[in-house]
Each structure stands twice: as C-alpha cells, then as structure tokens.
Chain A
Amino acid sequence: MDAYTSSELISIFAMQGFSGISLFSVLLLMALGLAIIFGQMGVINMAHGEFMTVGAYTTYFMATLTETYFPAFMPYYFVFAIVVAFIVAGILGYLAEFALIRHLYKRPLDTLLATWGLSLIMQQSFRSLFGAREVSPTLPEWLLGSYQPTETIYIPINGMFVLGLTAVVTLGVYYLMFKSRWGLRVRATTQNRVMSGAVGINTKKVDRYTFALGCGIAGIAGAAFTTIASTGPTTGTLYIVDTFMVVVFGGAASLFGTIASAFSIAQAQSILEFFISGSMAKVYTLLALVVILMFKPEGLFASKVRR
C-alpha cells in the first residue's frame, strides 16, 4: 500500500471527525420534532417521517417556483423555503391533531395504528401530487461544494449548513420549552394534565400546538435533508426508524437525552463504519443499543415525571 504523509492522515482524521458530527446533527434534527411529540405528549407518531417529506416537497416546490418566476431570487430562496416548510408541515400537523389524534389520546396503541394509516395516506398523496420519481430541488450555489481550510481537508458546506440549522432549532426548542410561558404550560400539562386544566391552562390547545410544533420541526428537517438526499413519496420511511431509535435511546421526555443519544449513536456508527463495512456497523450499533436498553429501559436520561 502507498505510504501516507502525516498531513494526509491528519486531514482524513479531521474529515472523519466532521462526518461524525454531521451525522449527529442529522440525527438530532430528525429526532427533535418527535422528541417533542413523543416526549411531551406520549403520542407515537408513525407519520413523523411523512411530515419531514412534506417539508422536503415544500422546498422542492419553492425551488421550482423560484426557478420559473424569480430566477434572480435563487441564491436566497432556500432560507424562505425552510420557513415555509415549517409553516406548511405545522399546519398539516395542526389539522391532523384536530381531525385524528385528539380522539385517541387515551388509546396510545390506536394512535400508533392511526398515524401509521395517516403515513400511508400521505405517501399516496405525495405520489399522486408529485409523481413516483424522486426529485431534488435545485440548490443555491453557496450550498454546494466544500470549504477547504487546507489543501487536503474538505468540509462539505451542506454538512455545515445542517449543523448550523440544527444548532438554531435546538436552541429555539430549548427556549420555547424552558424559557417561555408556552413551554411552562406544555411542561405543566405533561406533568399533570388534570391539575393544569384546573389552574386554567387550556390543555387541548396546548396539545394541538405542541403537535403542530413537532410536525413543523419535522418539516424543517425535511427541508434541510434536501441538501443531502433526494425526496420521494416514501423517503419518510427511511428516517422513521433512526428517529425513534434516537428518541427512545435518549429517554423519552428529555431534550438533553435526545442530544446525547444522537451524539453517541452518530459517533459509534461513523467510527465503526470507517473500520468495518457499512451494514455491519449498523448491526453493531443496534446491538449495543439493545444491550444498553435492556439494562436501562427508560433510556439514557429519563426525566422524572408524574403521570
């Protein structure tokens, strides 16, 4: 085998480090929305992946619209697309909660089935609306390519973008949940629904907005992932398993747990992948997860809540 200079090895090491961090940000962004819905409301939303897909298709739609009618606006549309993706997915989430989920709060297993049905309905709607083929929005130039701090190190810009976006969304969720009046109401409802109602919190409204927020964040994630992969009607199903894995491993109702869990899964996976083949790396990661969950069934960080 060829000899390597130390600078080459260092740069591969640096890039490998970034690919781990990049995977971490992807996992975290996927899981944030679900962490809110599953963590705060206890709803197992099987259609979470489809709300991501809604965000992705919104981005695609915005890209096509901009390209056709305002080509000069192309470099900036992506930022707006993310906001629109949040709003569209949020509104759809709001409607889903109103029409479906709220009738099933006391029957968690039925929600599982109902949201799974919802996911199938949404997949078929995507197929009818956008066609079966996968699509990719035209990305603005500044999102492509990579940043080169040295001759041999390439840091993908889309990776950095997702990382930055994840940071912003995480901080936003943190602020909403722990610093705002609204977050206080959500947490109160989670801890004791009856008592919260008694002190004048409209718990139904809280539920509806929590669900909409979770779906909206899924929409943001979907928009961000268009920079990484393409979008098809069944794209959501690719993400749903990883998403649940992160949330369950982190401990349902804990934001910090979700972050820690995304980080450890991402690092384990990416380091293992470097040394063994991709499929086996996934097997070992999942195996480790199962073993840890056997000893800590409540996940890494379980918050102590009274139900």
Chain B
Amino acid sequence: MRKPSSSLLPSVMRRCFAKGLMALPAAILLSSIGMSASAANVNTTGLAVTDETVTIGILHSLTGTMAISETGAQEAEKLAISQINATGGILGRQIKIIQEDGASDWPTFAEKSRKLLVQDKVAAVFGAWTSASRKAVLPVFEKENGLLYYPTFYEGLEQSKNVIYTGQEATQQILAGLDWVAKEKEAKTFYLIGSDYIWPRTAMKIARKHIENVLGGKVVGEDYKPLGNTQFGSVINKIRLKKPDVIYAAVVGGSNVAWFKQLKAAGITSKKQTLLTISVTEDEVLGIGGENLEGFYSIMKYFQSQDNPNNKAFVAAFKEMWGEDSVMGDVTQAAYLGPWLWKAAVERAGSFDIDKVVAESEKGDIELTTAPEGYVKLHKNHHLWSKARVGEWSKDGQATVVYTSELIEPNPFPAGYQ
C-alpha cells in the first residue's frame, strides 16, 4: 500500500507545477488541515471526488449524424448510473454526471474529452461510439491518464491502458458469425458489402482473410458505398449476377434503410438468400422496418428479446426511464455495462485513482453476473469475455436468438489477420 502512494506523490507534484501554482496551495491546505480524510484516501490524484459525490463524464453525439446511434448508449449509461445511485452509489458517494456533446465531429470529441479530464477532472468517462471518435480521443486519455469506457463493437487491433472496451472486438463478432454461417448454411461463396469508412473496411479485411484462409470459401464480390448513399440498384444486380451463398453486410446509418428496402423490392428475401449483417441492431430496425429484414440474420452479443431475468429487469427499467417505445440494441446494452464494471473495479480498489482502478480491471477477474446479455467477465486485455449470438429478425422488429456461442475469449490482436 505504501509503495504506490509514494510513487504517485511526485507525479502529483509535477502536475501541480506544470499547471501553475494555483492548485498547489489548495493541495497543501487540504492535506495540512487533514480534512476529508476519506476523500483523500480514495482520491490521491485530484479527481473530482468529494465526501458525498464523484463526478463522471458522458461524451456522446447528441447532435449530427451519429446522434441516431449514440442516443441509446447515453440513455443506457444514465440508467446504470441512476441505478447505482439509488443503491447507495460508489464507495458511499453519489455519481454526478457532466454530459458533453461530441456533435458527430471527431475533433470535437477530442476537445470535449480534454475538457472533461483537465477542467472537470472526472473520475471516468463513458462515451465515444464510432472508431473514428475513439481514435480521436485516445491520445487525450493516454496523455491525461483518464479512463474511458467504450461501448461499441469494433474492429479490434487496439488496446490501451486508459480504455475499457465493453463491446466485442472483431474475433468475437466477425469471425464467430462467419463460422456459424459456414457451418449452419454450408456457405462457400460470400459477397461483402459495407459503408465506406474505417470500420467496415477493416471488418471486411478480417472477414476476407478468415473466409479464404480458414473456411476455404471464396469472396465473389466486395463493395463499399459512400456513407449516406441511398441507391443500391447496381450492387443488387451485381449480387444477382454473382449468386453468393451469403451476403455479408456492414452498411451503416441511413444507408441501411435504403439497402434493405431495395433488397426486398428486388425480390432478394430470406426465402432465397442468406444474409448476415454485423451492423443491424434493434436501433437500426426501427428505421429499416422489421418487414424488410424478416428472416435475415445479425451477429451480435445481445438482443432485446433475450430471455433471462437480468434482461427482463433491464428492459423494464429502460422502458420506465426512457419511454415504452424505446428499444435496446447491442451497443445500448454494452454501454449499460460500463458504469457497473467501473463500480466493481473502484470498489475493489477502494479508490477512484485511475491507476488503481485500471490495475484492478487488469486482474482479469471482474465479473458481472447481472449483465442483461447474461454474464460477462473483464479480461486482462481490457476487453470482455462474452458470447456471440445470431439473431433472426422477425416482422415486429425483434430478433429470435437462433445460436449462442460459448463464452469467447477476447483477442484484439488475432494472429494472421493484420
């Protein structure tokens, strides 16, 4: 116990000097009077922690294109926090939220995260959604030694001391999905299609390697459409020409709606064609319409329809807080896990200090048995052990889980896929 605190002291001093002498007298004053002994114990690095409260940040896009997707995530985080507060908070402290708007703009994300860490001194940040926004805030979190809980399933190939990834990385989603479809549907030929930006392109690169090297299948076509594109006629005809066993799709945002509507209108339905997507959750289905997706598959780790007591409680609480019409998608659920994982790590560390919380998280044995998806465990590598699930969409916009994998170990750097 003595060792870490003594090694921390110089760094605190250095930071105080670096920021000017303003903070220094206050620090001396506090320690000399010896007030708030408890706050000093649980917080040796000057985070926004008092005897009654601890402040955290929520950083999602409330405006701009991504607001559509990120709304659910920030709602889930607020739900988790209000539940934690209702049951006594963390280390006896109520959680206070400072919310910032990333505005779907990556430099804004970086700027706001700096504000949250430097000015507000928040103990943790729950936020970011796209890979682009995560990449933008990453250097800030590493420099200021902040702690980010990132909720989205993503392409992997990343692991930072300052980030806990509560969504699934590539192998837990992309590879699991391909394995399932190859086995279950005896698929040999694949048509890959996605929106044109980092996540679909990386995901498809990994998928192609897996199809060609592991499954012995063939990629008969690969296509990327600009974000926001609404015309898929030509691609659909190409697909018809190539006759793939499986369409493997990662189309995002508004394009998704046009893509599925046009597939249906072109007579490509689940009766004749297997389609597996890695980008459709209950959130997207709201816009796409269940009737356009009927019989197609999504590979995720969570579906709202999952039948377990944790999930029933989660769905009920979410609807009570955010309205009867709200739906919960994969990322919403992953976002909900963030505050709970943080609570678990903080309580074990007995401190809000980032380094201590990270050290606890890295022990690799923090479990959540109350997770709506069932059970998750935090791995040493900052990702979650979780199960992959294939959902078959039905008309009402909900999915039936047709396949659940074993608990998959997260492996953000799979050999042979880089």
B202 within 8 A of A: no
Interface centre among A135, A138, A159, A278 (most CB of B within 10 A): A278
Residues of A within 8 A of B237 (CB): 12, 15-16, 19, 274
Given A136-B257, A146-B267, A278-B196, A228 contacting B224 (CB threshold 8 A) = no
Interface centre among A15, A20, A158, A237 (most CB of B within 10 A): A15
B222 within 8 A of A: yes
Given A145-B265, A148-B267, A279 contacting B224 (CB threshold 8 A) = yes
The 0/1 profile, CB within 8 Å of A marked 1, for residues 222-243 of chain B is 1111101111011111101111
The 0/1 profile, CB within 8 Å of A marked 1, for residues 378-401 of chain B is 000000000000000000000000
Interface centre among B63, B68, B220 (most CB of A within 10 A): B68
Nearest B-chain residue to A146, judged by Cβ: B265
| Contact call A16/B261, Cβ cutoff below 8 A | no
Residues of A within 8 A of B255 (CB): 229
**Nearest CB on B from A247, distance (A):** 19
| Contact call A278/B235, Cβ cutoff below 8 A | yes
Interface centre among B234, B257, B283 (most CB of A within 10 A): B234
Residues of A within 8 A of B196 (CB): 278-279
B350 within 8 A of A: no
Nearest B-chain residue to A159, judged by Cβ: B265
Q: Give the size of the chain B interface in residues (CB under 8 angstroms).
A: 44
Nearest A-chain residue to B227, judged by Cβ: A238
Partner of B254, one of A12, A16, A232: A232
| Contact call A144/B234, Cβ cutoff below 8 A | no
Residues of A within 8 A of B68 (CB): 132-134, 232
Nearest B-chain residue to A160, judged by Cβ: B265
| Contact call B235/A136, Cβ cutoff below 8 A | no
Given A18-B233, A135-B287, A274-B237, A235 contacting B254 (CB threshold 8 A) = yes
Residues of B within 8 A of A196 (CB): none
| Contact call B228/A238, Cβ cutoff below 8 A | yes
**Nearest CB on A from B306, distance (A):** 22
Given A133-B287, A154-B265, A234-B64, A16 contacting B233 (CB threshold 8 A) = yes
Cα distance, A273 to B236, chains bound together (Å)? 10
Interface centre among A2, A233, A279 (most CB of B within 10 A): A279
Cα distance, A278 to B236, chains bound together (Å)? 12
Nearest B-chain residue to A137, judged by Cβ: B289
Given A145-B264, A230-B288, A134 contacting B225 (CB threshold 8 A) = no
Tell me which residues from 268 to 293 in chain B have a Cβ below 8 Å from any Cβ of chain A.
283, 286-289, 291
Apart from A133-B71, A146-B265, A238-B254, list 19 A-B contacts with CB within 8 A: A16-B234, A22-B231, A23-B231, A23-B233, A131-B71, A132-B62, A135-B287, A136-B289, A146-B266, A154-B265, A154-B266, A159-B265, A225-B230, A228-B258, A229-B255, A229-B261, A234-B64, A273-B234, A282-B226
In the complex, 22 of the A-B residue pairs with CB atoms within 8 angstroms, ordered by the A residue number, are: A16-B233, A16-B234, A18-B233, A20-B233, A23-B233, A26-B230, A134-B254, A136-B287, A136-B288, A148-B267, A156-B262, A156-B266, A158-B261, A159-B233, A225-B230, A227-B261, A228-B230, A230-B287, A238-B230, A270-B231, A277-B222, A282-B226
Residues of A within 8 A of B (CB): 1-2, 4, 12, 15-16, 18-20, 22-23, 26, 124, 127, 131-136, 138, 144-146, 148, 154, 156-159, 225, 227-230, 232-235, 237-238, 269-271, 273-274, 277-279, 281-282
